[in-house]
């Protein structure tokens, strides 16, 4: 029933979808053709759904699909969907100070091979305490790999799944039966099963507004390594709005990953709307229970100029769903610092651990806290 | 195997089972039967994902087998388990140690769980795998295997192959992304909130004897709620529950007082309830009543 021209039409449509970023393999196109074969082609609605249900597999692709469908099949005067491109000047804003200094410092690949651990003990100690904002490009390259090492430690939780373990806490009855056959039904040998620790979900929300510029790069490197440590890590950036960075940070090479982040985030170095960003997170991702049972880390200096009350409200929501909430504020590295900024003050009652994160030592502290974090004490 | 030649035929059968799908969902269910592919349903809580599978079972005259997923779900609870107490008793009863392993691990000692039940069935089956996103990834990988071969291997008994493929409906609340391989294997449909007309129809069909006016006003009120900025906007399930409560209270229309008293069955979060209290509530009731009388 499906003529050649028709088949070509659908195949080309599949290619159009692929171009806008949907994963449309030959299997899906074949399904689409079979699907169209089964429905009434006279009914536009049925054609639409048959194509959508066979070619799209994610909710967030529906919009792209709809636009492509309108343009391709209905010949409606809409522009074909194009992934948003960034203006070059925005790209340059990523942790500007550090990037610039690093460029001055010359080729990064050659210095990247240096083992940071080969530094003398005292130099290492010095580096450990140095504020990221004050590092030279050379020092920065040294700490890069240390950051990655630190970030691999993850919070743990007990899995409900059990595996064979002689020190386990539950009898392995299947094996018990089998073993007891040899002894006439007497359970001489008692195999056990135990639960094992698995990584707990970790969600990191990182402030990339102007006031955080000097720290953004180091913290993103930390995030990149955390995402690379295994499944169950979600990363977001926010300034005036929220962007999900998990896919971008999934790229193995840290520099390439950071590059992709720059493209994905539209508001680098912008103002801060912490409350609104937290709300977006709670509405969109919290509702999908992304934060439930997770350790949530917010990295920000707490400079909310607009609505501190909203920050408090959204932090309360976040804290209720999360297993524990950690706030990392680079300003806290200064012993004089007092959390007086409106947003920070509003958030603190809902924070379990409040940490600095302005240098290597404080990142280590963060990793230690994350690895052993307990369920919220202050409710 | 589907027995339905057109989407319209299936739609009629679903309606006879008291389920009112929109065209998109009917198409999805129809294609799932026609192409013999699992269907993955996603959507906000309470839009009727589970209901869809149940109605499909009724409409196709199939048996519904449901596997509710949760973290830590394993083969013993999803596929099969050996009946250990009976096995032990059997060994005891045989005394002289003449029990062979074959005997002990035979079908009569097997406890069949939903997946095995669905594969090893002679009658038509709709297999509902509910909230797959709650199961862990190891289980998802295992499920992928079952859904590609429709066969299950029990080491002691051998491989059991499906004699007729069950229709498979998976639901997910998107608490995590599912594996691409699983998604590739399935058709995908996103269920949104129904149109107001359809929602009124759904309420009427689910609550026999409800006043036309109450159904319309309740649906309009819930629709207003969904337009607000709530932590958890109510789904169709909430509309039905709430209208049922109002109906049980003998109400034939809405007023601010009764809405205030029963708000807890529509909104499930304290902040949401607080946000809707007082002036907002009176206003919403007025808007809903006006919309319903149009």
The ipTM, to two decimals, is 0.83
Domain boundaries defined on chain A: 4-73, 86-155+200-379, 162-198
Q: Give the mean model confidence (pLDDT) for residues A359-369.
A: 83
Q: Give the mean model confidence (pLDDT) for residues A186-196.
A: 76
- pLDDT (tens digit per residue) in A335-355: 778 877 788 888 999 998 898
Q: Is the pLDDT of residue B24 over 50?
A: yes
Interface contact flag, B72 A25, Cβ < 8 Å:
no
Reported as a pLDDT band with limits 50, 70 and 90, residue A86 is very low
B293 contacts: CB under 8 Å, gap ≥ 6: none
Reported as a pLDDT band with limits 50, 70 and 90, residue A75 is low
For residue A158, give the nearest of A374, A379, A377 by alpha carbon: A374
Interface contact flag, B184 A57, Cβ < 8 Å:
yes
B187-191 and B39-43: which strand pairing? parallel
Q: Is the pLDDT of residue A170 over 60?
A: yes
> Cα angle at A258 between A246 and A150, to 5 degrees?
75
Please state which of the four CATH numbers 3.40.50.410, 3.40.50.300, 3.40.50.10070, 3.30.1360.120 is assigned to the domain occupying A86-155+200-379.
3.40.50.410
Contacts of B28 in chain A (CB under 8 A): 49, 53
Contacts of B88 in chain A (CB under 8 A): 177, 180, 185
Three-state helix/strand/coil letters over B15-72: HHCCCCCCHHHHHHHHHHHHCCCCEEEEECCCCCHHHHHHHHHHHHCCEEEEEECCCC
pTM: 0.68
B101-105, B172-176, B254-258: which is most confident: B254-258
Q: Give the mean model confidence (pLDDT) for residues A138-142.
A: 75
Mutate to test the interface with A, among B47, B93, B188 (most CBs of A within 10 A): B188
Domain boundaries defined on chain B: 7-191, 196-285
Interface contact flag, B23 A287, Cβ < 8 Å:
no
Is B189 touching A (CB cutoff 8 A)?
Answer: yes
- pLDDT (tens digit per residue) in A94-120: 333 333 333 343 333 333 334 444 445
Contacts of A185 in chain B (CB under 8 A): 88, 91-92, 94, 97, 99
Q: Tell me if A229 sits within 8 A of A53, measured CB to CB.
A: no
Q: Tell me if B52 sits within 8 A of B41, measured CB to CB.
A: yes
Residue in this structure with the two tokens 């896919």, named with its chain if needed: A247
**Helices and strands in chain B: count of H runs, count of E runs:** 15, 9
Interface contact flag, B188 A178, Cβ < 8 Å:
no
Separation in Å, CA of A56 to nearest CA in chain B: 7
Give the integer Cα–Cα distance in Å for B115 and B26: 25
Interface contact flag, B183 A58, Cβ < 8 Å:
yes
Interface contact flag, A181 B74, Cβ < 8 Å:
no
Q: Of residues B16 and A269, which shows the higher confidence score?
A: B16
Name the burial class of residue B159, with classes exposed (0-12), middle (13-18) and buried (19+) by CB atoms within 10 angstroms of its CB. exposed
Read off the tokens for A263. Answer: 């493209």
**Helices and strands in chain A: count of H runs, count of E runs:** 17, 9
Mark which residues 28-87 of B lie under 8 Å from A by CB.
Answer: 28, 30-31, 34-35, 37, 39-40, 42, 44, 70-72, 74, 82, 84, 87
Comparing CB atoms, the residue among A25, A38, A287 nearest residue B31 is A38
Reported as a pLDDT band with limits 50, 70 and 90, residue A297 is very high
Contacts of A160 in chain B (CB under 8 A): 70-72
Q: Of residues A172 and B226, which shows the higher confidence score?
A: B226
Give phi and psi for A179, each to the nearest 5.
Answer: -65, -35
Residues of A at the B interface, defined by Cβ within 8 angstroms? 23, 25, 27-28, 31, 34-35, 38-40, 45-46, 49-50, 52-54, 56-59, 62, 159-161, 173-174, 176-178, 180-181, 184-185, 231, 282-283, 287-290, 292, 313, 317
- Measured between CA atoms, the residue of chain A closest to residue B86 is A177
Please state which of the four CATH numbers 3.40.50.300, 3.30.360.10, 2.30.40.10, 3.30.230.10 is assigned to the domain occupying B7-191.
3.40.50.300
For residue A143, give the nearest of A154, A153, A129 by alpha carbon: A129
Residue B34: the pLDDT is 94
- Measured between CA atoms, the residue of chain B closest to residue A62 is B190
Q: Is the pLDDT of residue B59 over 90?
A: yes
């Amino acid at each position: 029933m499906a003529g050649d021209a028709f088949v070509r039409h659908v195949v080309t449509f599949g290619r159009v979808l692929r171009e806008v970023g949907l994963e449309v393999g030959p299997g899906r196109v074949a399904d689409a053709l079979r699907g169209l074969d089964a429905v009434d082609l006279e009914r536009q609605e049925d054609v639409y759904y048959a194509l959508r249900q066979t070619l799209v597999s994610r909710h967030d692709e529906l919009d792209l699909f709809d636009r492509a469908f309108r343009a391709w099949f209905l010949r409606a005067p809409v522009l074909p969907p194009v992934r948003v491109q960034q203006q070059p000047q925005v790209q340059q804003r990523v942790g500007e100070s550090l990037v610039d200094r690093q460029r001055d410092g010359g080729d990064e690949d050659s210095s990247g091979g240096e083992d940071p651990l080969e530094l003398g003990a005292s130099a290492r100690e010095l580096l450990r305490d140095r504020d990221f904002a004050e590092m030279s490009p050379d020092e920065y390259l040294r700490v890069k790999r240390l950051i990655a090492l630190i970030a691999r430690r993850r919070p743990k939780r007990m899995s409900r799944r059990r595996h064979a373990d002689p020190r386990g806490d539950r009898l392995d009855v299947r094996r018990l039966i089998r073993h007891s056959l040899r002894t006439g039904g007497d359970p001489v040998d008692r195999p056990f099963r135990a639960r094992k620790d698995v990584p707990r979900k970790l969600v990191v929300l990182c402030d990339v507004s102007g006031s955080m510029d000097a720290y953004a790069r180091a913290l993103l490197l930390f995030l990149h390594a955390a995402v690379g440590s295994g499944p169950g890590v979600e990363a977001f950036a926010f300034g005036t709005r929220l962007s999900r960075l998990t896919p971008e940070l999934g790229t193995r090479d840290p520099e390439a990953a950071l590059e992709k982040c720059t493209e994905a985030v539209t508001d680098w170095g912008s103002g801060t709307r912490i409350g609104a960003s937290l709300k977006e997170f709670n509405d969109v991702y919290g509702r999908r229970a992304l934060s439930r049972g997770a350790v949530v880390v917010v990295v920000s200096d707490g400079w909310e100029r607009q609505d501190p009350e909203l920050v408090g409200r959204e932090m309360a929501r976040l804290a209720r769903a999360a297993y524990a909430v950690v706030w990392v504020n680079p300003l806290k590295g200064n012993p004089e610092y007092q959390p007086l900024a409106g947003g920070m003050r509003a958030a603190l009652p809902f924070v379990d651990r409040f940490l600095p994160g302005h240098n290597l030592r404080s990142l280590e502290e963060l990793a230690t806290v994350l690895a052993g974090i307990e369920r919220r004490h202050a409710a | 195997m589907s027995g339905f030649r057109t989407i319209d035929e299936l739609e009629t059968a679903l309606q006879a089972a008291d389920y009112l799908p929109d065209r998109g969902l009917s198409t999805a269910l129809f294609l799932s039967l026609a192409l013999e592919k699992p269907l993955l349903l996603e959507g906000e809580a309470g839009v009727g994902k589970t209901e869809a599978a149940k109605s499909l079972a009724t409409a196709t005259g199939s048996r519904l087998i449901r596997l509710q997923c949760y973290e830590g779900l394993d083969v013993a609870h999803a596929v099969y388990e050996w009946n250990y107490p009976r096995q032990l008793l059997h060994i005891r009863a045989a005394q002289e140690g003449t029990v062979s392993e074959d005997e002990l691990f035979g079908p009569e000692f097997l406890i069949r769980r939903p997946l095995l039940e669905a594969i090893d069935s002679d009658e038509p089956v709709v297999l509902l795998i509910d909230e797959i996103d709650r199961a862990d990834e190891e289980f998802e990988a295992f499920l992928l295997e079952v859904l590609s071969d429709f066969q299950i291997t029990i080491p002691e008994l051998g491989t059991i192959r499906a004699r007729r493929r069950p229709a498979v409906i998976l639901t997910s609340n998107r608490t995590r992304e599912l594996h691409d391989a699983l998604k590739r294997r399935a058709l995908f449909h996103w269920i949104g909130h129904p149109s107001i007309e359809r929602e009124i129809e759904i309420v009427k069909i689910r609550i026999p004897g409800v006043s036309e006016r109450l159904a319309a006003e309740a649906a309009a009120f819930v629709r207003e709620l969904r337009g607000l900025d709530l932590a958890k906007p109510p789904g169709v399930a909430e509309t039905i529950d709430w209208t049922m409560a109002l109906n049980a209270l003998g109400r034939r229309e809405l007023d601010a007082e009764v809405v205030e008293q029963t708000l807890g069955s529509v909104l499930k979060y304290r902040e949401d309830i607080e946000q809707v209290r007082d002036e907002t509530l009176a206003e919403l009731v007025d808007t809903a009543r006006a919309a319903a009388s149009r």
